[in-house]
Structure 1
Amino acid sequence: MLSRLYPTILDIDGLLADVPHDGYADAVAATFADPAMVATLGGARLGEGAAGFIARARAHWREAGFGLWFLRDMRDGGFAGWGGLRRCELAGDRGVEFAYALSPRLRCKGNAVRLGQAALQLGFERLALREIVAVTTAENQHALGVTERLGFEYVRSLDRPSGRHLVYSRTAAAHAAA
């Protein structure tokens, strides 16, 4: 069930954030084939097709009432990636994660921070979440900078099949105090 509390379409300073649908299949497939994109996603996504990724993203929206948005650059209509909030499991603990993947042409321009600000605001103020986490690798300097600018605090490291990841947390109390 989709939630009125977490919009299914949103303008985030020139990025059109939309619920995943099959119209994004070619763009997502191209993203999975782009070495610059998969480098920040833990490597090649050869076994994960675009249709499956879209189906899982849509199912998350139906089950949780929120999820990842697929993004278009409204200046040129080009696919820009995805981002938003999604349920996650970290070492047996369930939570909600801010996750994103932006096209390289849109990185380092404040887009990830603006996307994160919108997602965090909706998560804390409308969904009444107590905590949102962010997970990245130590090598992903861009994501580390984004988590810092969004006020996330380091919690712990976590070993995954794709390597060591760093877990950051932002609480509703810290959000309210900012």
Structure 2
Amino acid sequence: MTTILTYPFKNLPAASKWALRFSIRPLSCSSQLRAAPAVQTKTKKTLAKPNIRNVVVVDGVRTPFLLSGTSYKDLMPHDLARAALTGLLHRTSVPKEVVDYIIFGTVIQEVKTSNVAREAALGAGFSDKTPAHTVTMACISANQAMTTGVGLIASGQCDVIVAGGVELMSDIPIRHS
């Protein structure tokens, strides 16, 4: 699965096609929306906290599950990740230029591609200036990729992150003990 994470940010034009589609407004335009009337009858509960960025998931895509050794047998993990990246960008109309960082998790790192996220990003047409890294932490790898993305946005280091996970069991050697 591949997901775009972001927060309502200042530096995107208000008329940006994908920002309007997901109701993401620059903070400078939303000041009128935040102006409270003189008398407020109801209080709106929110999880937002003052001085902390509110990170949101924009959308997500995934490739279908298939049996090991079938249609995906000639693919590499970065091929699946590239397909998910391309599908996500097509579905959301998010321009590649606004993505600040790409993170993928994988359970079993295959030796032919040491950085699945980087290979997938380059294959999907992202700039070689867009940083990408791969997390390998057993079964929690994709979750850690998402958590890292949230941390980068919450800390103000990035505005838009693509995070996800990929696994391809067709090329994993089966060992006996």
Specify the TM-score bucket, using the shorter chain as the normaliser.
Answer: under 0.3
TM-score, length-scaled by structure 1: 0.26
TM-score, length-scaled by structure 2: 0.27
Higher strand share: 1
